[in-house]
Amino acid sequence: MKLVQHLLERKGSELISIVQDASVFDAIKLMADHTVGSLLIMDGDDLKGIVTERDYARKVIIKGRSSESTPVCDIMSTDLVTATPQQTVNECMGLMSERRIRHLPILADGKVVGMISVGDLVQAIISDQQEEIEQLEQYISG
């Protein structure tokens, strides 16, 4: 089974982040510009939290708050679930399913080295299964 490290090598390790005093509007615009569903909240190299489209929907829209005047720190999640590059895709899928999250920051030696989503994990699992099917077909056909 593939490791998270292999996913990051294929995906790249570009980190899309914002500072905690930025407005929610700026965060949502940044997500839209990069076609992502979450942002890391960083203070230099320190991971402070994560903000997602779900946070926006539940903590801004539904509560009638203004995205221009609400700072990201008011809606970000700080009780973070993280993984390491040495964990397997299956371990991360289980962790994300158990905690009901869609995005997982990846840390090595306490520093953020990437971010993976449920979609990244599903793609990796499908790829692994396809490779296994091809190997079995080759074995059967001799």
Task: Name the 3-class secondary structure at 96.
Answer: helix
pLDDT > 70? residue 140: yes
Residue 126 has phi, psi (to 5 degrees) of -60, -40
Q: E strands within the chain?
A: 17-18, 38-43, 46-52, 103-108, 111-117
pLDDT > 70? residue 1: no
pLDDT of residue 134: 85
More confident residue, 136 or 84: 84
| pLDDT tens-digit readout, 78-115 | 999 999 999 999 999 999 999 999 999 999 999 999 99
Residue 141 banded pLDDT, cuts 50, 70, 90: confident
Mean pLDDT computed over 33-58: 95
* The CA-based dihedral angle spanning residues 80, 85, 89, 93, taken in that order and rounded to the nearest 10 degrees: 0
- Percentage above 90 pLDDT, the chain: 78
- Give the amino acid at 109: D
| pLDDT tens-digit readout, 106-122 | 999 999 999 999 999 99
pLDDT of residue 13: 72
